[in-house]
Amino acid sequence: MANKVVIKTEQLNLWYGEKQVLYDISMEMLSNKITALIGPSGCGKSTLIRCFNRMNDVIPTCRITGHVFFDDNDIYGPDADAVEVRKKIGMVFQKPNPFPKSIYENVAYGPRVSGVNNKDSLDEIVEKSLRDAALWDEVKDRLFESAMGLSGGQQQRLCIARSLSIEPEVILMDEPCSALDPIATAKIEDLMTELKKRYTVIIVTHNMQQAARVSDYAAYMYLGKLIEFGETEQMFEDPHEELTEKYITGRFG
Amino acid sequence: MYGAFPLIVGTLLVTLGAMIVAIPLSIGSAIFISEIATPKMKAAIKPAIELLAGIPSVVYGFFGLIVLTTWLRISFNQPSGESWLAGSLLLGIMAIPTITSVAEDAISSVPREFKEGSFALGATRWQTISKVIVPSALSGITAGIILGIGRAIGETMAVMMVCGNPTYGLIPTSITNVFAPIKTLTATLGIEMGEVAAGSNHYHALFGVALLLLIITLAVNIIATVILNRLKEKQRSPSKKKTRLSVSIKQQIRKTLVFTIIILCVVILLSSMGILLTVCIGLVVGAVYYLRKKVSAKTGQRIAFIAIAVAILTVIVILGVILAYIISNGAGALSWEFLSQGSSNLGRSGGIYPAIIGTLYLVSGAIAIALPLGVGAAIYLIEYTREGRLTKIIRAGADLLNGTPSIVFGLFGFAFFVLYLRMGFSLLAGQITIAFMILPTIIRTTEEALKSVPQSLREGSLALGATKWQTIKKVVLPPAAPGILTGAILGIGRAAGETAPIMFTAVVFSSFIPHSFVEPVNALPFHLYILATSIPNSARNQAGTALVLLLLVIGIYLVAVLLRNHYQKTMKW
DSSP string across B213-267: HHHHHHHHHHHHHHHHHHHHHHHH---HHHHHHHHHHHHHHHHHHHHHHHHHHHH
Q: Per-residue pLDDT for B552 more than 80?
A: yes
Q: Of residues B6 and B34, which shows the higher confidence score? A: B34
Q: Are A86 and A172 in contact (CB under 8 A)?
A: no
Contacts B115 to A, Cβ<8 Å: 58
Residue B243 neighbours by CB under 8 Å, 6+ apart: A100, A146, A148, A149, B234
Name the residue among B400, B387, B382, B380 with its Cα closest to residue B449.
B382
Are B289 and B369 members of one domain? Answer: no
Sign of the Cα torsion B59, B62, B67, B73 reads positive
Could you tell me which residues of chain B have a Cβ less than 8 Å from any Cβ in chain A? 38-39, 111-124, 127, 131-132, 135-136, 238-240, 243-244, 246-247, 293, 296-297
- Residue B192: Cβ-neighbour burial (10 angstroms; 0-12, 13-18, 19+): middle
Domain span including residue B203: 1-331
Percent of chain B with pLDDT over 90: 27
For chain B, first and last CA: distance in Å? 61
Are B234 and B128 members of one domain? Answer: yes
Distance (Å) from the alpha carbon of A138 to chain B's nearest alpha carbon: 16
Closest-approach residue (CA) in chain B for A51: B120
Cα separation, A197 vs A165, in Å, equals 16
Contacts A102 to B, Cβ<8 Å: 247
Q: In the listed set B303, B331, B359, which residue is the last one of a domain according to the structure?
A: B331
Cα separation, B241 vs B229, in Å, equals 15
Of the partner residues A88, A93, A149, the one whose CB lies closest to the CB of residue B240: A149
Q: Judge whether A118 is closer than 8 Å to chain B, CB to CB.
A: no
Q: In the listed set B297, B331, B365, which residue is the last one of a domain according to the structure?
A: B331
Question: Which of A213-222, B215-224, B349-358, B435-444 is least confident?
Answer: B215-224
Rounded average pLDDT over B179-192? 86
Rounded average pLDDT over B8-37? 91
Name the residue among B179, B361, B349, B190 with its Cα closest to residue B271.
B179
Query: What values do phi and psi take at A74, rounded to 5?
Result: -75, 115
Q: What is the CA radius of gyration of chain A?
A: 18
Residue A94 neighbours by CB under 8 Å, 6+ apart: A46, A174, A175, A176, A178, A179
Q: Judge whether A131 is closer than 8 Å to chain B, CB to CB.
A: no
Cα separation, B443 vs B428, in Å, equals 22
Cα separation, B519 vs B524, in Å, equals 17
The count of structural domains within chain B is: 2
Q: Of residues B460 and A157, which shows the higher confidence score? A: A157
Which amino acid does the sequence have at A194?
E
Q: Are B114 and B133 in contact (CB under 8 A)?
A: yes
Q: Of residues B456 and B289, which shows the higher confidence score? A: B456
Distance (Å) from the alpha carbon of A228 to chain B's nearest alpha carbon: 28
Q: Per-residue pLDDT for B63 more than 90?
A: yes
B244/A145 touch (CB, cutoff 8 Å), yes or no: yes
Are B136 and B234 members of one domain? Answer: yes
Are B372 and B494 members of one domain? Answer: yes
Closest-approach residue (CA) in chain A for B238: A148
- Helix %, strand %, coil % for chain A, to 5? 40, 25, 35
Cα separation, B1 vs A112, in Å, equals 60
Contacts A162 to B, Cβ<8 Å: 117, 121
Cα separation, B296 vs B159, in Å, equals 45
Cα separation, B232 vs A219, in Å, equals 42
Are B228 and B340 members of one domain? Answer: no
Cα separation, B20 vs B50, in Å, equals 21
Which of B40, B110, B121 would you mutate first to test chain A, the one with the most A CBs within 10 A? B121
B121/A113 touch (CB, cutoff 8 Å), yes or no: yes
Indicate the SS3 state at residue B446: helix
Cα separation, B98 vs B90, in Å, equals 14
Sign of the Cα torsion B125, B131, B132, B138 reads positive
Cα separation, B494 vs A75, in Å, equals 54
What element of type H or E holds A29?
Answer: strand A19-30
What are the residue boundaries of the structural domains of chain A, listed by start? 5-248
pLDDT digits (tens, 9 = 90+) for A191-225: 999 999 999 999 999 888 899 999 999 999 999 99
Which of A16, A54, A102, A109 would you mutate first to test chain B, the one with the most B CBs within 10 A? A109
pLDDT digits (tens, 9 = 90+) for B156-173: 989 989 888 877 655 545
Q: Judge whether A59 is closer than 8 Å to chain B, CB to CB.
A: no
Q: Per-residue pLDDT for B189 more than 60?
A: yes
Contacts B38 to A, Cβ<8 Å: 60
- What own/partner pairs with CB < 8 Å and gap ≥ 24 does B470-476 have? B472/B379, B472/B383, B476/B383, B476/B450
What element of type H or E holds A25?
Answer: strand A19-30
Paired strand residues for A174 = A204
pLDDT digits (tens, 9 = 90+) for B65-104: 999 999 988 888 888 888 888 999 999 999 999 899 889 9
Contacts B239 to A, Cβ<8 Å: 149
What element of type H or E holds A63?
Answer: strand A62-70
Let me know how long chain B is.
573
Closest-approach residue (CA) in chain A for B35: A58
pLDDT digits (tens, 9 = 90+) for B237-275: 444 444 444 555 556 666 677 777 777 666 666 655 556
**Quick one: pLDDT at residue A190?**
92
Are B344 and B245 members of one domain? Answer: no
Of the partner residues A58, A102, A115, the one whose CB lies closest to the CB of residue B116: A58
Pick the CATH number of A5-248 from 3.40.50.850, 3.40.50.2300, 2.30.30.60, 3.40.50.300: 3.40.50.300
Are B345 and B414 members of one domain? Answer: yes
What is Dmax (Cα atoms) for chain A?
56
**Quick one: pLDDT at residue B242?**
42
Q: Are A190 and A181 in contact (CB under 8 A)?
A: no
For chain A, first and last CA: distance in Å? 38
Q: Of residues B351 and A142, which shows the higher confidence score? A: A142
Are B323 and B424 members of one domain? Answer: no
Rounded average pLDDT over B220-249? 61
Closest-approach residue (CA) in chain A for B111: A97
CATH of the domain at B372: 1.10.3720.10
Are B384 and B492 members of one domain? Answer: yes
Task: Tell if the pTM clears 0.90, that is, is over it.
Answer: no
A60/B38 touch (CB, cutoff 8 Å), yes or no: yes
Between A and B, how many CB-CB pairs are < 8 A?
93
Q: In the listed set B306, B331, B356, which residue is the last one of a domain according to the structure?
A: B331
Rounded average pLDDT over B216-243? 67
Cα separation, A29 vs A200, in Å, equals 8
Q: Of residues B253 and B350, which shows the higher confidence score? A: B350
B121/A84 touch (CB, cutoff 8 Å), yes or no: no
B116/A97 touch (CB, cutoff 8 Å), yes or no: yes
Across all residues in chain B, what is the average pLDDT? 84
Query: What values do phi and psi take at B388, rounded to 5?
Result: -165, -160
Cα separation, B441 vs B448, in Å, equals 11
Rounded average pLDDT over A150-173? 92
Of the partner residues B112, B114, B239, the one whose CB lies closest to the CB of residue A99: B114
- DSSP secondary structure letter of residue B64: I
Rounded average pLDDT over B291-319? 86
CA contacts within 13 A on the Cβ side of B326: 25
pLDDT digits (tens, 9 = 90+) for A122-159: 999 999 999 999 899 999 999 998 898 899 999 999 99
Task: Please report the residues numbered 143 through 172 in chain A whose beta carbons come closer than 8 angstroms to any beta carbon of chain B.
Answer: 145-146, 148-149, 159, 162-163, 165-166
Are B152 and B13 members of one domain? Answer: yes
A167: left (phi over 0), alpha (psi -120 to 50) or beta: left
Are B279 and B418 members of one domain? Answer: no
From residue B243, alpha-carbon distances to A141, B129, B136, B252 in Å are: 18, 20, 11, 14
Are B481 and B459 members of one domain? Answer: yes
Sign of the Cα torsion A168, B118, A22, A62 reads positive
Q: Per-residue pLDDT for B235 more than 80?
A: no
Rounded average pLDDT over A169-198? 90
Contacts B113 to A, Cβ<8 Å: 93, 95, 97
Q: Are B483 and B448 in contact (CB under 8 A)?
A: yes
